[in-house]
Amino acid sequence: MKSGIIKNYLLYSLPYVFVFIAALYRPWDSDLGWHLKYGEYFFQNFAILKENIYSSEMAGYAWPNTNWLTDVITYAIFFTSGFLGLTLASAIIVTLTFWAFSKAYDLNLYQQAYIFPFLIVLEEPINSVSFRGQLISIFFLGLLFLFLEKLPDKRKLFYIPLLFVVWVNTHGQFILGLGILGLYIGFKIVERILQEESKYTIATISDAFKANKLLMLTFVFSAIAGVVNPFGFSTYQIALSHFNSSELQYIMEYLPIEDLTNDWWKQMIYGVLIFFGMLAYIFTGKVKESISKIGIVSIFFVLAFLVRRYAWSMYYLGIPLLKPVADFLKPDSEKNAVRAAVIMFAAYIAFTVYLKLPLGQFQTMNWEIYCSEYTSCSEEAIKYVRDNQLDKNMMSMYNWGGYMIWNYPEIKPSIDGRMTVWKDPQTGYSPLTEYYAYEQGWDDIDDSKYDVVLMGNDKEIYTRLNELTEEGKWEKKFEDQFGGVFTRIKNSTGSSEFEYRNN
């Protein structure tokens, strides 16, 4: 009997061993530095930092940091175990996410053998960044569906609002979870109405609402939970601003999926598979009881084409529609199905370990590798700015901001990843809009307020600065294979050409 328990345990854990190994990545999120700095501030001051003290643009700006708890966790992990700790923590979160969705949708070993590797490939763009708040948020989405599908309504009334209390303090994507919860309840009401054999009357609709009253109450309490945080209702304001901010057109994950790219093909293949899953529900007469599963994934399938960020959640939400596709290939014998699944997972694990070699890469990860291999930042250029005290009136590269905040706190970047939707409430000034116009060459840096530019050499502004250097208006102070430092040449009065023209 004991050997049987051990065997079952090994079979149960096999898929998650595969997921854990596949989810091992070096941390390279360009925002990692400022997340660490916020976490460090908390431990040094036992208070949550609510103002911008780390960049020159919009200094003192009050900002509701919806990631504050994630920042605390990130710093605690990094302080105790460095980059390796973040790598392991990220893999654990991804593994727990697979576990939560698998339990919510009752995946058996054979279904996992087909669905898990497919999801690993689809989720690679987000998982490969390693530890970040968005991964925790997707895990919470998995817990949400685990609670919705497995807990009695009275239990949901307690656990789901409690989940949102933690979620709202961890990541701004709690607002997406709240929206999905609303959709789930709405579709559950539709399911109840469609399952009634009598004609659809006012009484039928009323009964459907009554049958889901505890779920609706759960939604109300979960919405209220959204203000249980250090910033109050501001978390809603900052989260909702991500749905209509014009500044997000400059951020890759908020852009539409481009036609015929790898992401587009993944999306299309996924669409074909969930379409066959829908057909299976139709042919088996299970459509009416599966409206919530079909409806939510259909909505997010369309939304993902418009904003690729939605795809990472949508792939998990479509698991119920992938199950019939996996079952189509299942052997008649349950024993043969288990054997096939074991062989498949053994092959997956062996291949994944091979892809991760050398495993020592996760122990040797450091800031130098982070800078040069992942964010392509020029550490020598940053040091040049620091050593020559050129950080006054400086424009720095957006993706280097987080690295500078953590590694070179004595100088301030002009902009960093916190500032995507920041706007001056009086003037409407957006640092990201201004930055992007100069970076892309839409506006001339020579007409700007900046006297120093620290920039990567793959940007349009770099070409323009080289032209201005040849014209004798700017001087190239430093350059390496990643970028350089340029300073504006002052005239005999000590003023720049920009200042002269505007006096």
CA angle 137, 140, 146 (to 5 degrees): 150
Measured on CA atoms in the order 400, 401, 402, 403, is the torsion positive or negative?
positive
Considering only CA atoms, which of 154, 123, 115, 152 is closest in space to residue 139? 123
pLDDT at 492: 47
Q: Which helix or strand (DSSP H or E) is residue 279 part of?
A: helix 262-283
pLDDT band at 498; cut points 50, 70, 90? very low
- Whole-structure pTM value: 0.90
| Cβ within 8 Å of residue 84, ≥6 positions away | 362, 363, 365
Cis peptide bond prior to 358, omega within 30° of 0: yes
Highest mean pLDDT among 149-158, 334-343, 346-355: 346-355
d(CA 416, CA 501): 30
pLDDT at 320: 92
pLDDT, tens digit (0-9, with 9 covering 90-100), for 280-292? 888 887 877 788 8
Task: Give me the residues paired with residue 394 across strands.
Answer: 452
Considering only CA atoms, which of 392, 432, 434 is closest in space to residue 412? 392
pLDDT at 502: 42
pLDDT at 250 over 60: no
Within 10 A of 306 (CB to CB), how many other CB atoms are there?
Answer: 12
pLDDT at 1 over 70: no
What tokens appear for 25 in the block?
Answer: 């990545």
Q: Which one-letter amino acid corresponds to residue 277?
A: G
pLDDT at 200: 65
pLDDT at 356 over 90: yes
Task: Give me the residues paired with residue 487 across strands.
Answer: 452, 475
| Cβ within 8 Å of residue 345, ≥6 positions away | 14, 15, 17, 18, 113
pLDDT, tens digit (0-9, with 9 covering 90-100), for 194-245? 777 656 667 677 777 787 889 989 999 999 998 989 988 888 877 776 666 5
d(CA 134, CA 89): 13
